[in-house]
Every structure is written in structure tokens, then in C-alpha cells.
Amino acid sequence: MAPAAPDPLLNLVEFGMASFRGPPLTPSAQRPRSSYWQLLPFLKPQTGTIVRALICTLIFTAFWPILAQLAGTATEYLGTGQVGKMAQLSGVLAIAFLVNKTAQYGQDSLMAKAALKIAYELRKAVYVHLQKLDLGYFEAAKTGDLTYRLTEDVDRVGEVIKKLFHDFTPCVLQLIVVLIYMIYINWQLTVATFVIAPLMAVLVGWFGELLLKLSRRSQNRISDLSSLLTEAFSGIRLIRAFAAEDYEIDRFAKIAEQNRQATYSAAWLQAIQHPVIGFLYALSIIFLLLLGTWQISSGNLNGSSFVRYITAVVLLVDPIAHLTENYNLFKQAEASVDRVFEIMDVEPAVLEATDAKRLPLVTGKVEFNRVSFAYKSEHPVLREIGLVAMPGEAIALVGASGAGKTTLVNLIPRFYDPQGGQILVDGIDIRDVTLRSLRRQIGIVPQETILFSGTIAQNIAFGQRTIDLEAVEDAARVANAHQFIQQLPDGYQTWVGERGVNLSGGQRQRIAIARAVLLNPRILILDEATSALDSESEALVQEALERLMENRTVFIIAHRLATVRRATRILVLEKGQVMESGTHEELLDQGGRYAGYYAQQFSA
């Protein structure tokens, strides 16, 4: 198939922007055209509010010619001394203005209410959908880009909905009324006007489509900038540690410049659009003057009627200008609609069965039946894993990085689904139960503790709608956290900074343990829970973990073998397979891989 012809307007923009150096818009990079029809499910609940706003718009628009007529009548009484009639007319004018402005208030307030509600529901729907997506999506997505789509893009969609009814609709109504008036004065001239109108409409459409492409590019650049800032602020310690400030400034300047260029391209296009459309409009006026002169000379039109006709044409300037500007806004917002619904179109990789049942309280037996998993089909991470963990057992997973330890435990709460085999909890396939009922019985203490902005009590009771302070304190005592929490300025109500930066690593880890204690799970996953701590903190955390592990099925991931000696069973993973299994002493006696790891760590 022959390649599509290049867009001449796009080439014009690329040629006209001397400072633009961004990547060209190739057909493969362009997203398919979108439609505002995707917003219908969010518009329908606001139909009543929108209809009331449109009624106010109709009243507001209808009163302008009435006010003009009353003002014209008022001029007839000026200087005549008819004070009574002038007073009556002034009262009618005041009432008319009051109705007009009341309708304007109703239009503005109701449309703002509807637009903000639509934006709220859209933003909420996107966030709810994101919560259903699997971890793989978030590992690939840029945090800053997602944040931008949920904030700026959704706000732009709400704003354009408001514009549609607040500005666009009155302009269309005014355009229709004036055109009817023009046809009434002289239909021949009006028909002649429509010779130029299609050309103007085509040009506006071309400009709008090109502006859509440039807006997509601009918004992608802003998302890149937002992502860079998110990375830089979250990694500020690393930047300082490596004295990489200049490197980060260069990165920021480069992406900020790309953003400037992309934004300028859209601004340049709009700047050239207005004089082009304005010039065509001026030509149409000149054309009408020539036709009007010919009509007068032919006796089909008199001078006063022609003046009224030209006045009507001038009245079209404002609505046409507004319609052009609004069309540009609609095309820019269309890019935002695309970006928002791109998220909504992503299908979760982990789906809950339609007939999923609630998982009853379990004893903690976990079975892996020939489980295989791969992030990419050509690179298997786990190969037909067979494992049975009995209630109360502590299963330790050791092996080199990339052996599949973390992947294996991530399959238990269904962060991912295996491509082969099945995982059972108390004999029940985990794909047959609801995700919430499964995950509420699994506690996780990760290597990198994540704390959220809020109080310490809120972080310990994370995920619970009501906070039982007594239960929170009991959990903190088990986690060896109660003592240091009491020493903080506001105790359990002490505000934790973003990601818990106000606390030490050991303190954060003990709060994470307290969180798991409060959940009271039957299955517990410890992912390198003590690897980043000093000796004193490790001792406190290890003591807390031993309390937490009592009477639970525990999976322990550890590189430091001193932490797994007391495990019921130790599994040595290599290339996604279990190479050795046994207790600490049994594996040392075998003299295999585990014994080799142990010798390396304790040879000193």
C-alpha cells in the first residue's frame, strides 16, 4: 500500500517554527482520532442540570434583542418631555436587565456545577480503574504522567464541557438568529455569503486537526516533565550523594526546552490561524460590498436595507471569533480525552472471576502445583514449582538475585497470575475467590517500608475505615514500636512526613510490622525485612518478627542466611526452580548450593 501523502499544513507548521527542534509527528506516533462520545456515560447523570442551564442560556440570549429594542424605543422619548412614559420604560428596562442577569447567573452556576461534577466522576472512575490494574502496569508507567492525566487532563475536559454550553451554545444561537435576519433582508446576498463560508469552515477544521496533533505532543512533553520532577524529588538524597545536581539540571533543562518548543508550536499555529481567518472574513465583506452595490443598481435593494444587512454581518464577527476559539479549545481537550481514556482502555491482567466467592478464614496451608510464570513469554522466571507449606510452617527462600524468590511470593496474593499450574490456599484455588478476601488474610512486610502522609496511628491502621487506638497500641507493642512512638511529640498522632522521612529505617520497619500485626493475617510474607538495618535496629525488628510469625504460615525471603536458620524449611531457588530443600542443618550436611552460600557469608 502506498504511503499516505504528507500533511501540507503540518509541513507549514514545521517550516514556520524556526526554533522548533522536537521529534517529528510520524504517522506511527499519532494516536487514532478520539470522540467526545466517550464522555456520554458521565454526561447523562447531569442531564437535568445541563437542561436547566440551557434554558437559562436561551433566556439570556433571547433578552439581548429585547433589550436592544427597548433601548431603541427609549431614544424616541429623549428630549420629548414625556417623563411618565420614560419612567415606565425605564422600569421595564430594569426588569428586563434583572431577568437577563438572573438567567446569566443560572447559566454560569449550573454549568460550573455540571462540569465540575463530570470532572469529579471522570477522575474518580479513572482512579478506581487504576486500582484494578496489576503491578506490571505501574512498573512500566510513569508516575508523573499518571498524575498529570488525573489532574490537568481531567480538569481540561471539565473546562471544555463548561465552555461548550456556556460559550459555544449562545454563539451558535446568535449566529442562527442573525443569519435568519440576513435572509429576511436579502436572501440573494446571504446565499452569496455561503460561497466563502465553506472555505472558512474547511480551514478552521484543518487548523483544528493540526492543533489536536500539536496538543498531544505538548501534553506528552508536560507529562515527561512531571515524571522527571517526581523522580528528582523522590530521589533527592541520591542526587546529593552523587553530587549530580548539574546532571539533573541539564536533564530538567532539556525536557523543559522540549516542553517549551511543543507548547510554542501550538501557540504559533493559533497565532497564524487568526489572521488567515480574519483576512478571509475581510474578503467576504469586500465581496458583499460589491454584490450589494450591484443589487442596489439593479433595484433589488435600497441603501438603508443594505446598511442594516452590513450591520448584521458585523454582528457575526463576535460569534464566529468565539466559535473558532472554542473549536481550538475542543481540539486541544480532545487530546486530553484521548489520554484519560487510554488508561480506561487498559485491561487488568489479574481479573476477579464473575462468580468469585469470599475466602473463609483459613488455617494457612499454601500449595503450589506445577506453577510456571514469566513476565515475558520467552523468559520464564518460575518453572513448574511444586511446594506445600503447612499451617504454622516458616518457609525460607534463598538464592541469587533473579532466581524468582520475590516473584514466587507475589503470586500468593495474586499480584500476578501464573501462566501454568495453580495455587491453593486451604485447598481452594485462589482464582476462585475475591481478591479482597484473599489479600486481607495475607500480611506483607517488605524490604522498603512504604508509609503515607498521615499520623502514625493512621499508618498502622492503614486500609481500615475506623481506627481502634487500643488495638493499634497493642500491635505497636508486639512490633517493639510502642516505646519510641510514645517518645515522639504527639505520640500516635505524630504526623509522618511523605514516605516516612521523619523516621529512621528501623522505626519505619517496626511500624510496618505493627501494621501486619493489626491485620492478623494467617499467611505472612517477609521480603528482606531486616536487610537494610543496623545491628541494634535489626535485633529489635527480628524480635518483633518472631512474635509476628507465631502460629502463622510464613514465607521469608533473605539474602542474609543468619535470619533463616530457624525456618522450618529452606528452599534454594536457581533459575526459577527449587534446587534444594531442607532444614538449615540438613542443607549444610548436603554440602550443596546452600552450604556454599553459607560458607561465603560466614567464612570470616
Rounded Cα distance between 409 and 396, Å, is: 11
Instruction: Identify the pLDDT of residue 422.
Output: 93
Does the pLDDT of residue 58 top 70, yes or no? yes
Cell 490456599 sits on residue? 425
Residue with the larger pLDDT of the pair 124 and 286 = 124
Residue with the larger pLDDT of the pair 223 and 408 = 408
Angle (CA) 189-203-183 rounded to 5° is 20
Does the pLDDT of residue 7 top 60, yes or no? no
The mean pLDDT of 66-86, rounded to a whole number, is 64
CB neighbours of residue 104 within 10 Å: 18
Contact status, residue 225 vs residue 255, Cβ threshold 8 Å: yes
Taking alpha carbons only, the member of 327, 346, 347, 348 closest to residue 36 is 327
Instruction: Identify the pLDDT of residue 430.
Output: 94
Does the pLDDT of residue 442 top 50, yes or no? yes
Instruction: Identify the pLDDT of residue 358.
Output: 93
Instruction: Identify the pLDDT of residue 31.
Output: 42
Contact status, residue 572 vs residue 579, Cβ threshold 8 Å: yes
Tell me the torsion sign for CA atoms 166, 167, 168, 174.
positive
Domains of the chain: 12-18+34-344 (1.20.1560.10), 363-441+522-528+547-604 (3.40.50.300), 445-520 (3.40.50.300)
DSSP string computed for 581-602: EE-HHHHHHHTSHHHHHHHHHH
Instruction: Identify the pLDDT of residue 18.
Output: 36
Does the pLDDT of residue 388 top 70, yes or no? yes
Taking alpha carbons only, the member of 454, 444, 492 closest to residue 471 is 492
pLDDT tens figures, 157-169: 888 887 777 777 7
pLDDT tens figures, 309-357: 666 666 666 677 677 777 777 777 777 888 888 888 888 888 888 899 9
Taking alpha carbons only, the member of 336, 525, 497 closest to residue 412 is 525
Does the pLDDT of residue 25 top 70, yes or no? no
Instruction: Identify the pLDDT of residue 28.
Output: 33
The mean pLDDT of 500-521, rounded to a whole number, is 81
Looking at 35-44, 467-476, 556-565, which range is the least confident one?
556-565
Rounded Cα distance between 510 and 476, Å, is: 8
What 8-state DSSP symbol labels residue 306? Answer: H
Quick one: residue 128, left, alpha or beta (phi over 0 = left, psi -120 to 50 = alpha)? alpha
Q: Averaging pLDDT over each range in 201-215, 321-335, 396-410, 498-512, which range is the top one?
A: 396-410
State what percent of residues in the chain have pLDDT above 70. Answer: 76
Instruction: Identify the pLDDT of residue 77.
Output: 63
Instruction: Identify the pLDDT of residue 234.
Output: 64
Give residue 39's pLDDT band: very low, low, confident or very high (50, 70, 90): confident
Average pLDDT, the chain: 77
What 8-state DSSP symbol labels residue 302? Answer: -
The mean pLDDT of 551-562, rounded to a whole number, is 81
Instruction: Identify the pLDDT of residue 429.
Output: 93
Cell 517477609 sits on residue? 526
Instruction: Identify the pLDDT of residue 286.
Output: 73
Rounded Cα distance between 127 and 123, Å, is: 6
What are the C-alpha distances in Å from 107 to residues 19, 62, 155, 172? 43, 13, 20, 16
Position 376, amino acid: K
Does the pLDDT of residue 604 top 60, yes or no? no
pLDDT tens figures, 248-260: 788 778 878 877 7
SS3 13: helix
Does the pLDDT of residue 595 top 80, yes or no? yes
